[in-house]
Amino acid sequence: MLSLIYRDYIACLNDKDWTKLGQFVHDEVSYNDVPGTLAGYIGMLERDYEQIPDLHFNIELLVEDAQTVAARLLFDCSPKGTFLGVPVHGRRVCFRENVFYRFRDERIERVWSVIDKAAIEAQVL
């Protein structure tokens, strides 16, 4: 059941336990078809938490098959400065990310994500 592994992965993100992330993510992992590494993935998450100190991942929807998890994630948080090009500056915003994860050997190898930038703009512009 990939969904069980995925829920542990999300808990790992919310715990910011980067030492455990390699249990869930391959050393080589692509994001929106751009090849990358686990270290780069951790760097991206560290920057996310630096930009958004109260970042928390909430699973709203989850669909899975034998090798893929699709999730709709809810974020209710306060990005410090400009986030996705939107001048949020610490205001609280609520937005979703719809994201697919392809697993191999029970670890994430490919991620395809879309974040609802228009929803953030509608709340702060």
Report the Cα 60 to chain-centroid distance in Å.
13
State the minimum distance, in angstroms, from the CB of residue 52 to a second copy.
16
Residue 40 Rama label (left phi>0; alpha psi -120 to 50; beta):
alpha
Give the residue among 69, 15, 71, 13 at the shortest CA–CA distance from 42.
13
Ranges within 41-100 binding a second copy (CB under 8 A): 60-61, 63-65, 68-70, 72, 84-85, 96-100
Q: How far is CA 94 from CA 74, 85, 118, in A?
A: 7, 16, 11
Stretch that binds a second copy, among 14-22, 37-45, 48-56, 107-115 (CB under 8 A): 107-115
Pair of tokens at residue 99: 């994201």
114 counts as binding a second copy under rule CB under 8 A: yes
113 counts as binding a second copy under rule CB under 8 A: yes
Pair of tokens at residue 27: 């050393």
Give the residue among 43, 52, 38 at the shortest CA–CA distance from 84.
52
State the minimum distance, in angstroms, from the CB of residue 72 to a second copy.
6
Candidates 7, 40, 51, 116: give the one binding a second copy (CB under 8 A).
Answer: 116
Stretch that binds a second copy, among 19-27, 41-49, 51-59, 111-119 (CB under 8 A): 111-119
Q: Binding residues for a second copy, per CB under 8 A?
A: 60-61, 63-65, 68-70, 72, 84-85, 96-100, 112-118, 121
